[in-house]
Amino acid sequence: QMRKIALLFTFTILFAGLLTAQFRMHRQSFGPQVETKVMTFNIRYSTKTDGVNSWDNRKEKIVETILNNEVDILGVQEALHSQVIDLEKGLKSYEWMGVGRDDGIEKGEYSPIFYNKNKFSEVGSGYFWLSESPMEAGSKGWDAACVRIATWAKLRDNRNGRVIFVLNTHFDHVGEQARRESAKLLLQKINVYTKKNKFPIIVTGDFNSTPNGDAIQILKNRNNPQSLTDARDVTLKTSGPNWTFHGFGKVPTEKRPLIDYVFVKNKISVLDYQVIEGKLPNNKWLSDHCSVLVTVEY
């Protein structure tokens, strides 16, 4: 009897050891943690009424800013098709995904994702509209003034083999209900795309909502297991202004809101958070928004 128990005990120990080894192997199938630089940037749609700040006067400097900061993943808002092509020309080592929000092809603003193709490969991507019919091209939601879209991508980091989930969007500037409902929809969709794998998640965008606004509060609601974390709240280091919209410098400093964000979730740490003002000589600006640059590790 004792021998049987001893044998059983030995087997149990062996089996547990095997399981642990298996778990360790599984856990270590990824390479070491890597740092990735993420930027969100509302580049202001191309319109002749912007005078000295028209797109043609800004585009080269925008490309320069992206390259100089060695951005790995870039979420852009307010890019018309011609602007996406300009960025594509300037950002030669980047691939991108996205569609025009008005027709799901090339019409209207894009919310594209650009990524450094030397570091990442696309595993899958798609888009949906911020509306009651998310898969219906050009559908407008709730009390929104404009059609709104979100672009997502699953990217494999070639440095450590890890797959990350990235989403980029632009919430409505008028509809309060639309912003609230868009926030709920975003969390639901991200959950659907990531729940099986618990990928590290990065969300970029112009949310047209201040940190205390309903939309941001919904996205950050700790009582909801699907909630996201604002990179600004957990970063080790912060620099730059505490606002992101300035209207080409026309909004008085004390009235400038913070409405552009990078959110994270699932085993991802934030090392650095920086708001880049984008002021150029002679009262020119990169855009009417600042860009936000965040260094993450996963």
Cα distance between residue 274 and residue 217, in whole Å: 22
pLDDT score at 21:
47
Is the pLDDT at 269 greater than 60, yes or no?
Answer: yes
Write the DSSP string, 87-154.
HHHH-TTEEEE---TTTSSSSS-B--EEEETTTEEEEEEEEEESSSSTTSTT---TT-SS--EEEEEE
**Fold classified for 34-297:** Deoxyribonuclease I; Chain A (3.60.10)
- Terminus-to-terminus CA distance in the chain, angstroms? 51
What is the full DSSP assignment across 29-82?
TS-S--EEEEEEEE-----GGGGGGSHHHHHHHHHHHHHHTT-SEEEEESB-HH
Virtual torsion, Cα 185, 129, 267, 196, nearest 10 deg: 80
**96 pLDDT higher than 90:** yes
Q: Is the dihedral of CA 267, 273, 275, 276 positive or negative?
A: negative
Query: Residue 13 — very low, low, confident or very high, per pLDDT cuts 50/70/90?
Result: low
* Mean confidence (pLDDT) of the chain: 94
The Cα-based distances of 18 to 4, 22, 30, 260 in angstroms read: 21, 6, 20, 48
CA 277 to chain CA centroid, nearest Å: 19
Q: Tell me whether strands 73-77 and 94-97 are parallel, antiparallel or unpaired.
A: unpaired
**pLDDT confidence band for 30 (50 / 70 / 90):** confident
Domain residue ranges in the chain: 1-30, 34-297
- Over 70: is that where the pLDDT of 174 sits? yes
